[in-house]
């Protein structure tokens, strides 16, 4: 199988309404991939620290957006290709995302 190159572009705005501890980020993944000629490419899966977080079911896609929840400053992302016969490629080299966390909350004090 051929290697996948992955880059993640981070949107700098946090998303409100978080269900899990951490902060949500809109990300855009950009990758290159040449599928083997003897296999039918079905799409791509993005993994965050080894856990699947997004699936892109367009085999011709080389960029896609995904909302992820970050719980620490440094997070590793990888991408795989998956095929019609159920096989999945090896993981891309990790893309290590460094995020500084949610925006600080503004606290207003009233002097008495």
Residue 2 is predicted with a pLDDT of 60
Does residue 67 sit within a domain? yes
10-55 confidence digits (pLDDT tens): 544 444 444 446 888 888 899 999 999 999 999 999 999 999 999 9
Q: Is 1 exposed, middle or buried (0-12, 13-18, 19+ CB in 10 A)?
A: middle
pLDDT of residue 73: 87
Is the pLDDT confidence value at 95 over 80? yes
Looking up residue 23, the CATH number of its domain turns out to be: 2.60.40.10
What band does 108 get if pLDDT is binned at 50, 70 and 90? very low
Count of structural domains, the chain: 1
Q: The whole model's pTM is what?
A: 0.77
Range of the domain at 89: 5-98
Q: Would 11 be classed as within a structural domain?
A: yes
Asked if the structure places residue 107 within a domain, the reply is no
């Amino acid at each position: 199988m051929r290697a996948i190159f992955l880059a993640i572009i981070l949107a700098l705005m946090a998303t409100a309404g978080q269900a899990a501890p951490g902060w949500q980020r809109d990300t855009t993944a950009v990758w290159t991939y040449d599928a083997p000629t003897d296999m039918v490419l079905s799409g791509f899966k993005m993994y965050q620290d080894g856990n699947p977080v997004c699936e892109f079911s367009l085999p011709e896609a080389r960029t896609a957006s995904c909302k992820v929840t970050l719980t620490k400053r440094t997070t590793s992302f990888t991408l795989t290709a998956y095929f019609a016969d159920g096989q999945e490629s090896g993981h891309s080299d990790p893309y290590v995302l460094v995020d500084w966390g949610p925006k600080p909350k503004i606290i207003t004090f009233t002097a008495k």
